[in-house]
Amino acid sequence: MADHLIGLMSGTSMDGIDAALVRFDDTALPELIARRTTALPSELQEKLRALAQPGANELDRMMRLDGTVARLFADAVVELLDQTGMSAGQIRAIGSHGQTIRHVPVGAEPYTVQIGNPSLIAELTGITTVADFRRRDLAAGGQGAPLAPAFHAAFFRTSAENRVALNIGGIANLTRLPAAAQALVSGFDTGPGNLLLDAWIRQYQGKTLDDGGAWGAGGRVLPELLAALLTDPYFRESPPKSTGREQFHLDWLKAGLATLPTADPQDVQATLQELTAVSVADAIRQYAGEAQRVLVCGGGVHNRALLARLQAQLPDLIVESTAVAGIDPDFVEAIGFAWLAKRTLDGLPGNVPAVTGARGERILGGIYRA
């Protein structure tokens, strides 16, 4: 029997909500029935980015935004239902990733915080909502991220070739998908994806993103800056590892820029593009050296210049969109969280211990009944 679920995703870029209405059965790829991307208001984006860094009155600001984000998530669900003519009663559940505002997976008391009140989503939509996926893995000694590798393994792995699934969101993460059935799936966050690229062009051109990577492609890579940025210890850490805005942000970039007398902003953009390409390629060579194909999803799939640089770094691999494997690259994560919600409701684990470092497989998330 088929199940219909809705997945909601707002990632590290903090610029929009991806909503996917998905049909699951046991014999085929997930079927994407309907999709929507809702841009977050610019004022809300600024508030979320500010909340991602330490500041004053954080608890009050967080709880107010918790409700604001939940209402926007619920609106996205209602719009999907209106778009398809389906009713809330036809949807088994919503899988909501929430909006990450802090991710500190190591230390004496590791923690991760996602806002977007799932109780309010369930109340406003009349649909059971599954959320708070990360903390169960964290409680089991894992990093709580990345969680997409379980979905990648379920739908992108094949015995025909060794693959890597690469999500280029605000942060980039990869999943190693060996062809050999007995080989472990592994994965981790490689470092910046679009996050710094988007922040830099927003600061210097007032744009939300570098369309197709054109601005960066018109600059030249600054070797000294690239080398300085790559000295960050995160790039040398062994997996399991995960990261976010706490680690990679404009102040981090400016510390690297301080080593240069001057730098043209367009050249900095070219260098940030190269930073993403090089850090991803280095990670693939070191941890997935047997790979033959890289399947790319996330917003970075539209950055043609970035993908060209990645292909140049990995000349012996095929670098292409997850569309060739039958899943829309813009909605892989939203579909993935619908799938994780289904796993939770079915009493099945959703993490990959070899990825997160957890002590074992765990059923993820909390269930908020409608």
Residues in the chain: 370
Q: Kindly state whether residues 221 and 363 are assigned to the same domain.
A: no
Q: Kindly state whether residues 268 and 360 are assigned to the same domain.
A: no
Q: Kindly state whether residues 154 and 284 are assigned to the same domain.
A: yes
Instruction: For residue range 122-135, list pLDDT tens digits in order.
Output: 999 999 999 999 99
Tell me how far apart the alpha carbons of residues 339 and 336 are, in angstroms, rounded to a whole number.
5
Structure-derived torsion over alpha carbons of residues 98, 103, 106, 107, reported in degrees to the nearest 10:
-120
Q: Kindly state whether residues 37 and 78 are assigned to the same domain.
A: yes
Q: Kindly state whether residues 363 and 237 are assigned to the same domain.
A: no
Q: What band does 271 get if pLDDT is binned at 50, 70 and 90? A: very high
Q: Kindly state whether residues 262 and 275 are assigned to the same domain.
A: yes
> In the predicted model, is pLDDT for residue 83 greater than 90?
yes
> In the predicted model, is pLDDT for residue 55 greater than 90?
no
> In the predicted model, is pLDDT for residue 34 greater than 90?
yes
- Asked if 50 and 65 count as a contact pair (C-beta separation under 8 A), the reply is no
Give percent of the chain with pLDDT exceeding 90: 96
| Closest C-alpha to 308, from 212, 219, 190 | 212
CATH classification at residue 239: 3.30.420.40
Q: Kindly state whether residues 104 and 167 are assigned to the same domain.
A: no
Q: Kindly state whether residues 187 and 138 are assigned to the same domain.
A: no
pLDDT of residue 232: 98
> In the predicted model, is pLDDT for residue 361 greater than 90?
yes
Q: Kindly state whether residues 346 and 287 are assigned to the same domain.
A: no
Q: Which token pair is 259?
A: 């080593």
pLDDT of residue 41: 95
> In the predicted model, is pLDDT for residue 56 greater than 90?
no
pLDDT of residue 1: 78
Instruction: For residue range 202-253, list pLDDT tens digits in order.
Output: 999 999 999 999 999 999 999 999 999 999 999 999 999 999 999 999 999 9
Which pTM does this prediction carry? 0.96
Q: How many domains does the chain have?
A: 2
> In the predicted model, is pLDDT for residue 137 greater than 90?
yes
pLDDT of residue 162: 98
The predicted model gives 140-169 an average pLDDT of 97
Q: Kindly state whether residues 298 and 157 are assigned to the same domain.
A: yes
Instruction: For residue range 319-349, list pLDDT tens digits in order.
Output: 999 999 999 999 999 999 999 999 999 999 9
Q: Which residue range(s) make up the domain with 57? A: 3-143+334-368
pLDDT of residue 291: 98
The CA-CA-CA angle for residues 243, 247, 252, to 5°, reads 150
| Mean pLDDT, the chain, whole residue set | 97
- Asked if 21 and 11 count as a contact pair (C-beta separation under 8 A), the reply is no
- Asked if 314 and 130 count as a contact pair (C-beta separation under 8 A), the reply is no
Q: Kindly state whether residues 179 and 290 are assigned to the same domain.
A: yes
Q: Kindly state whether residues 91 and 217 are assigned to the same domain.
A: no
Give percent of the chain with pLDDT exceeding 70: 100
> In the predicted model, is pLDDT for residue 101 greater than 90?
yes
Comparing 129-133, 147-151, 260-264, 300-304, which segment has the lowest mean pLDDT? 260-264
pLDDT of residue 53: 87
